[in-house]
A and B are shown apart, each in its own frame.
Chain A
Amino acid sequence: MAGTMNFFRAQDEARGRTTKLVVLLVLAIVVLAGSLYALAVLGQHKLSRRGEIDWFQGDLFFWTAGVALIVIVGGSLLRIAELSKGGGAIAERLGGRLVGATTKDAAERRYLNVVQEMALASGLPVPLCYVIDGDETINAFAAGNSPQDAAVGVTRGALRNLTRDELQGVIAHEFSHIGNGDMKLNLRIIGTVAGLTALAQLGYILVRIGLSSGSNRKNNAWPMAIAGLVVVLVGLGGVFFARVIQASVSRQREYLADASAVQFTRNPLGLASALRKVAGLSGAQREASSAELEAQHMFFAGSAGFLESLFSSHPPIGERIRRVDPAFDGHIPDVIPVAVTADDEPVAGLSGRAVATPPPLPTPTADPTRAVPTDLQIQDSVGFRGVIPGALREASEDPVSAMAVVLGLILRHDPTQRAAQLAQAEALAGGEVVKEARRLDALLRAVPAGSRVALLDLSMPALRQLSPAQVAAFRKALERAGYEAEDGLIVLLIQASMRRYLSTEKNPPSRPGDLASACGLVLSAVVQTSGEDPAAQARAYALGAGVLGMAGLSPTMVPPASVDLGKVDEALAVIAGQTVPARRQFVRAIGAAMLHDGRAEPAEIEIVRAVADSLGISFATGIIR
């Protein structure tokens, strides 16, 4: 491990790469428009047969550059607008079919299980799962604007040829793309590629029109064909730029995603073996469709081509394997389909076998207030390590039952109050939700602290099947249940997370308010849930406040008596309206405060995950070797 990379930096870097993308795009437009203009000037010179080339023709420049600009920018924006509809739309565009929870196919069931496990490991809501049926190569992708509307997809070949461990490595790789914020970047790359290729398409159409009308009427048709040819040439330059941009922006991200995948699964051999199989199958690769070529950087493996080494969106596969598994000897095995047994049991966190244990936190130093936990320690500590009963997991996959699960998690402990809260939600789904909540009551009450947020994440695909009207009714029912429960803060955070998960808007409306006092209040509320003595809570608060390092932030904790949940809710909304880096910094401060004593209790982990969930921040990326 040469150096560590924290998850915040990785996510920030994705934004940095967007800047790079814009710079490259502007450069490409300038070059393309310039060469189109130059060729137009030369062409006009040839046609007019005048003695001297006039390099400064305002009108001609205006039109050629204008057309190039309109086509490239227009093409990009249209494609981006089209793809902004969410991960599911992109997955379907790439030929994906949604895999339902009721699938009878053993390989698909195993795939869903692996995705659920990885969601729990990375603290992300379970994405929609797609399969590309006709594709026998080994590949996978992740798409979407945010973790809330993400989708992952794998090819049929991946399901057929990968073992469970290998598939887990591949899915973990895709999850770190979701967590690293690569998906939005990917959309912009697709848009850019579409815009730059549009110019070549324009030229192609010109040539076609020119040639077809040239056969009918002799006059003025050839210039059009020639102009078309010119535009094709320039457009090919655009395609070239597009590929270079795709390659330069996305390659490094693949190494990062590989490294993160190893961190989630703690099993480098699974991913390495999957990559070897990708290499072993690449001889059998078929022609990629244009939709796939445009999106090739979104996939797990790059598409093979004669210019692979130059323009590939992915690093060379041998190098990727070596980075994951230093013992790689260059041997690529033949790929034999793997038999999938029908009784695939979910492993990590869902049934008996526990998730791989993370390295232990360093023992606290003599002066715990000084030891600020690193991002990596925070990230390692918040991994889910509980076990979710099979009945609840099953329930979380059905829309009606999933509503019952979420509702059940926020109810009061007192039976009479619980019954009253349930009665309020009676009408939901024709009373079925309440019936289901009653059926699952014993299980839901027994859900230990630490597993509640994980259950929310598991319920997401089912809840995404609700229609907008049903979502609105469900949100109202949750709101009515209120958060004045015995363990108020976590219930409040669950509600805030649900609001974010079920929101139709991309960004919550920003709420005005004093950020420093909002952060102080939420931080105080969080440290006070730990059940430690007031002195320890004060130390935790001081550590968190130190990490925040915000001007105007109170250096002392708000006393428990003055922490009002309604105010905490408002304060959370104020923080939720901040920029991504500011929200990340806050999550980091919460994590540091919780780990101040070097121990991460399940309830503490849950609070950190819930705060992160409610603010739309994920922990899903890791180290770089």
Chain B
Amino acid sequence: MSAFVSVLLVFLLVIVAALVIAAIWGVGIYNSLVALRNACKNAFAQVDVQLKRRHDLIPNLVETAKGYMAHESGTLTAVIEARAKATQANVRFAGNPNDPAAMRDLSQAEAGLSGALGRLMVVAEQYPQLKADATMRSLMEELTSTENRIAFSRQAFNDAVLFYNNGREVFPQIFIANAFGFQAGEFFKIEDPAEKAAPKVSF
């Protein structure tokens, strides 16, 4: 009896000790997942700054262009609408940064804005006076600069998302991730309209 009890006690102790260690380990994994997800959030803050800068530039740009291209109101309205959509999507995503659908919306809205701006530029080509306008030139310059910075901060954000996704998908992290609702992060893609418009090569 005594030997049995002591063996049982010891056996249980060992099992529970293993459980405790596993629990501490699990907490560690959980915390590291939280840290990775926060890294994505922090990286997005940089993207956000640049997106906002782009959104702030557009009203001035449209206002300046209006004076020269009164007949192209459709193109200008498209830009303004696309901007409004992008701003909304941005607010939605900021309120719910872990939602992949919100990120997809934001990607689409920003791509739409890029497309509308691209069309505006094409049309603007036909107005030499507009192209020569000093305000327009400086706005264009700032817009290009902002787009470069968006691309750069987007790269950092996507790297963070990749890191998080990789960290989330490996064994045994994936169990903890699924159990506690760590969704896979969504990349911030802005499809280049120019790339999309490139003619297909046919043979």
Asked if A85 and B155 make an inter-chain contact with CB atoms under 8 angstroms apart, the answer reads no
Asked if B148 and A75 make an inter-chain contact with CB atoms under 8 angstroms apart, the answer reads no
Q: Which residues of B contact A71 (CB under 8 A)?
A: 17, 20-21
Given A78-B28, A209-B16, A400-B149: A223 in contact with B9 (beta carbons within 8 A): yes
The answer, yes or no, to whether B24 is at the interface (CB within 8 Å) is yes
Asked if B21 and A70 make an inter-chain contact with CB atoms under 8 angstroms apart, the answer reads yes
A60 to B2, CA, bound (A): 12
Q: Which of B2, B32, B34, B149 contacts A47 (CB 8 A)?
A: B2
Residues from 49 to 74 in A contacting B, C-beta threshold 8 Å: 50, 59-60, 63-64, 67, 70-71, 74
Interface of A is mostly: helix
Asked if B42 and A465 make an inter-chain contact with CB atoms under 8 angstroms apart, the answer reads yes
The answer, yes or no, to whether B91 is at the interface (CB within 8 Å) is no
Asked if A202 and B16 make an inter-chain contact with CB atoms under 8 angstroms apart, the answer reads yes
| Number of A interface residues in the complex (CB < 8 A) | 52
A467 to B17, CA, bound (A): 39
Min CB gap B35→A, angstroms: 4
The answer, yes or no, to whether B127 is at the interface (CB within 8 Å) is no
Asked if A85 and B35 make an inter-chain contact with CB atoms under 8 angstroms apart, the answer reads yes
Residues from 1 to 49 in B contacting A, C-beta threshold 8 Å: 1-2, 5-6, 8-10, 12-14, 16-17, 19-21, 23-25, 28, 31-32, 34-35, 38-39, 42-43, 45-46, 49
Residues from 76 to 96 in A contacting B, C-beta threshold 8 Å: 78-79, 81-82, 85, 88-89, 92-93
Asked if A79 and B28 make an inter-chain contact with CB atoms under 8 angstroms apart, the answer reads yes
Asked if A429 and B1 make an inter-chain contact with CB atoms under 8 angstroms apart, the answer reads no
Q: Which of B6, B43, B152 contacts A60 (CB 8 A)?
A: B6
Asked if B19 and A467 make an inter-chain contact with CB atoms under 8 angstroms apart, the answer reads no
The answer, yes or no, to whether B159 is at the interface (CB within 8 Å) is yes
Min CB gap B88→A, angstroms: 20
Asked if B2 and A466 make an inter-chain contact with CB atoms under 8 angstroms apart, the answer reads no
The answer, yes or no, to whether B145 is at the interface (CB within 8 Å) is yes
Given A205-B16, A429-B149: A82 in contact with B159 (beta carbons within 8 A): no
Asked if B21 and A400 make an inter-chain contact with CB atoms under 8 angstroms apart, the answer reads no
Asked if B148 and A430 make an inter-chain contact with CB atoms under 8 angstroms apart, the answer reads yes
The answer, yes or no, to whether A333 is at the interface (CB within 8 Å) is no
A93 to B156, CA, bound (A): 23
Min CB gap A177→B, angstroms: 22
Asked if B28 and A82 make an inter-chain contact with CB atoms under 8 angstroms apart, the answer reads yes
Q: Which residues of B contact A79 (CB under 8 A)?
A: 24, 28
Given A44-B5, A78-B25, A429-B148: A467 in contact with B31 (beta carbons within 8 A): no
- Name the residue on A nearest B147 (C-beta): A430
Q: Which of A48, A231, A467 contacts B2 (CB 8 A)?
A: A48
| Number of B interface residues in the complex (CB < 8 A) | 40
Given A64-B10, A78-B21: A47 in contact with B5 (beta carbons within 8 A): yes
Interface flags, A482-506, vs B, CB<8A=1, else 0? 0000000000000000000000000
Q: Which residues of B contact A78 (CB under 8 A)?
A: 21, 24-25, 28
- Name the residue on B nearest A76 (C-beta): B24
Q: Which residues of B contact A468 (CB under 8 A)?
A: 159
Q: Which of A48, A64, A89, A430 contacts B35 (CB 8 A)?
A: A89
Asked if A432 and B43 make an inter-chain contact with CB atoms under 8 angstroms apart, the answer reads no
Min CB gap B16→A, angstroms: 5
Residues from 94 to 148 in B contacting A, C-beta threshold 8 Å: 145, 148
The answer, yes or no, to whether B151 is at the interface (CB within 8 Å) is yes
A467 to B160, CA, bound (A): 7
The answer, yes or no, to whether A28 is at the interface (CB within 8 Å) is no
A44 to B14, CA, bound (A): 17
Asked if A40 and B9 make an inter-chain contact with CB atoms under 8 angstroms apart, the answer reads yes
The answer, yes or no, to whether B153 is at the interface (CB within 8 Å) is yes
Q: Which residues of A contact B10 (CB under 8 A)?
A: 59-60, 63-64
Given A67-B13, A223-B9: A469 in contact with B19 (beta carbons within 8 A): no
Min CB gap A591→B, angstroms: 37
- Name the residue on B nearest A101 (C-beta): B49
- Name the residue on A nearest B2 (C-beta): A48
Interface flags, A460-473, vs B, CB<8A=1, else 0? 00000111111000
Residue in B5, B14, B23, B152 with the greatest tally of chain A CB atoms within 10 Å: B152
Residues from 39 to 72 in B contacting A, C-beta threshold 8 Å: 39, 42-43, 45-46, 49
Q: Which residues of A contact B152 (CB under 8 A)?
A: 399-400, 429-430, 432, 470
Asked if B16 and A82 make an inter-chain contact with CB atoms under 8 angstroms apart, the answer reads no
The answer, yes or no, to whether A98 is at the interface (CB within 8 Å) is yes
Q: Which of B5, B16, B25, B42 contacts A98 (CB 8 A)?
A: B42
A559 to B100, CA, bound (A): 64
Given A465-B43, A467-B156, A470-B155: A92 in contact with B38 (beta carbons within 8 A): yes
- Name the residue on A nearest B1 (C-beta): A48
The answer, yes or no, to whether A201 is at the interface (CB within 8 Å) is yes
Min CB gap A90→B, angstroms: 9
Q: Which of B13, B39, B46, B148 contacts A399 (CB 8 A)?
A: B46
A401 to B44, CA, bound (A): 18
Asked if A198 and B24 make an inter-chain contact with CB atoms under 8 angstroms apart, the answer reads yes
Residue in B6, B28, B145, B160 with the greatest tally of chain A CB atoms within 10 Å: B6
- Name the residue on B nearest A435 (C-beta): B145
Asked if B13 and A64 make an inter-chain contact with CB atoms under 8 angstroms apart, the answer reads yes
Q: Which residues of B contact A59 (CB under 8 A)?
A: 6, 10
Given A78-B25, A92-B35, A201-B20: A469 in contact with B159 (beta carbons within 8 A): yes
A89 to B25, CA, bound (A): 16
Asked if B20 and A432 make an inter-chain contact with CB atoms under 8 angstroms apart, the answer reads no
A430 to B146, CA, bound (A): 11
Asked if A81 and B28 make an inter-chain contact with CB atoms under 8 angstroms apart, the answer reads yes
The answer, yes or no, to whether A388 is at the interface (CB within 8 Å) is no
The answer, yes or no, to whether A121 is at the interface (CB within 8 Å) is no
Q: Which residues of A contact B145 (CB under 8 A)?
A: 432, 435
- Name the residue on B nearest A45 (C-beta): B2
A87 to B104, CA, bound (A): 32
A198 to B25, CA, bound (A): 12
Sampled A-B contacts (26; CB under 8 Å): A44-B9, A47-B1, A48-B5, A60-B10, A64-B10, A64-B13, A71-B21, A75-B21, A78-B24, A78-B25, A78-B28, A88-B35, A88-B39, A92-B35, A93-B34, A93-B35, A98-B42, A206-B12, A206-B16, A430-B148, A430-B149, A432-B148, A465-B46, A465-B156, A466-B156, A470-B155
Can you add 9 more A-B contacts, CB < 8 Å, to A220-B8, A223-B5, A431-B148? Answer: A44-B2, A64-B13, A70-B17, A71-B20, A93-B31, A206-B16, A399-B46, A429-B148, A465-B156
